[in-house]
Structure 1
Amino acid sequence: MAKKRLGNQTIELENSPVIISACSIVGPKEGDGPLKDYFDKILEDDLFGEDSWELAESKMVREVIKMAIDKTDYVLNQVDYIFAGDLLNQLMSTSFAVRDLKRPFFGLYGACSTMSEAISLASMIVDGGYSDLVVAATSSHFCTAERQFRFPLELGNQRPMTAQWTVTGAGCSVISSSGKGPKIKRITTGKVIDRGITDANNMGPAMAPAAYDTIKTYFDDTKDEIESFDVIATGDLGIIGGQILLEFMQKANYDISNVYMDCGIEIFDHKRQDTHSGGSGCGCSATVFNGYIYKKLLNKELNKVMLVSTGALLSPTSTLQKQSIPSIAHVVVIEN
């Protein structure tokens, strides 16, 4: 009997796994943004001393996991599992990173929803008694994502105002069965939602229906109060997608506007830094959560947070075949 389930898609974690450590690494542009004081490491250049952008992203993953573990009383060899992924084909950046870490690995692809997906699965395996120490991580890189999903950077293509800027960054949460830190309480796993949008430069509106569906499902399943949250943070809907989400929620009689934020809006000064509709990428919610939000939780400036990482599940192949953009969002509720 699935005694931990609430409603259709939500689970309540009986043993409340603890996020005992978190770490974030960002690129120079992100390090020049409004949240610069909350990141653990800011790169001086996008190559991070490597020969390619892909290897630079892989190095970010490797380093952010090591740094997060170094903040704890544990060593890397005590980590039972790594749950991680990225945007690149065959999870290139993550696979090369964990090759050097030599720990059991679950590779995940949830596009930009991967941070919430990784935390969800990592916390479930701890709550189930299968592990005492796991790592949840993800990354993205502006240069690697652009040349895989859109155009070679050398072309200098003009980006429409609906476009978002893929965050160069990596984030990691260390999740334990015991210890000090904010606790993971509930998880609502999203469904794939597709409203027929085909423009890869307008992904906020493609993802907004998925975010709406999962957030609404959480409240329907749990009967929780919106007012009990200090923050409901989506991953990377950006300015346009964020507005759509708020309108959808209000029409469903769930007004989240007083506690809502979007990581893609917060990470950049979109006017000064020319990021148009905001930030995107796996590293967007990963760095904002493991940097800004986690530190606010530790300092008791926030007590209850809903992280809703959002992902557009397109690929270069689906784009060339003129397919629409399926999307997904996963809810994780964290409390002090």
Structure 2
Amino acid sequence: MAAAPAVVVLIDHRDPRWLRSASALLAAAHRLARDHGWDVHTAWVGHDHGHGHDHGPGGELGAAVQHVVDVEGADPHLASTVSAALEAVVAALDATGPARLVLLPSTFEGREVAARLAAATGAGVVVGASSVTVEEDDDGGSGHVVAQKSVLAGSWHTRCAVTSELAIVALDTGAAGSADGASLPQDTPSAAVAPVVHHHRAPRPAGAAVEVLSRSPRPAGDRPALAEADVVVVGGRGTGGDFSGVEDLADALGGAVGATRVATDEGWAPRALQVGQTGVTISPRLYVGAGVSGAVHHRGGMAASGTVVAINTDPDAPIFEHADIAVVADATTLLPALAEEVRARRSRETG
């Protein structure tokens, strides 16, 4: 009996946890598997010994087969190393047989892995997709993978059909999860029946040519990661460089701090906090823009936000056209008052 077509999902992790993108990617994979009779495989960068993550999260998230890939010289605690992630997916593809689709998170690293994987396999690739489906051929064939994505800062919505046998799609997991996309179908396979297949891979010449001499982890703060936060408070030119109110409100809401390109160019915030087409793409449930004008390149990075609150002294600011709540006010004055009110209400609720 021929093996069922497979969808392979790259699980991005920072041990001892996997990132939120894993559940959204697995949910998308299982919807396709349920509708088209596919198998779901996960690829996980790890080590073939008792690390506690040998089995990966795939079983818990309903994978049929889990591929734990030990890449020589790779840090098993960090799956975003591009060379290691690439080898993990290639190992899984070699073992699955007729793979039809590879799903990755549309992060900086995920998009690079997608491009390098496409070059290595000759597959068609789509990055920044908001959803993925399979459309059957009129002649009764196996159909094409079709990815939906917005372009030109959300001005257009496109459908990209991949005509190659293997499709590679880097999915914007926040957009996919905005409509219960992170919820697994009820009929996903049990973790108890998900076999684990271990692989050992040598790095490719390009990866082996780089030697890591030392690593200094960025100090972890109490705020959630920008790309994964449910609440993000973004400061722009209107803050005048004073991010104290932005940080105060973010801490009161339990959210992350972001910045526009102008704010990072001016040195008011680290480049890692830049939200936009050339920065981080976010999809929080609540976005608060403080002194943000709403330039098209910034909107391209936050268009998938749930509720958008915009604060600006200019009543004609472009961001107001995309806001659910528009407040014409000085952000530097309003933000501390909002933070104080949030803390007061939470204190009353818990008291």
Same fold per TM (> 0.5)?
A: no
TM-score (norm 1): 0.31
Provide the TM-score with structure 2 as the length reference: 0.30
Of structures 1 and 2, the one with the larger relative CO (CA 8 A, separation 6+) is: 1
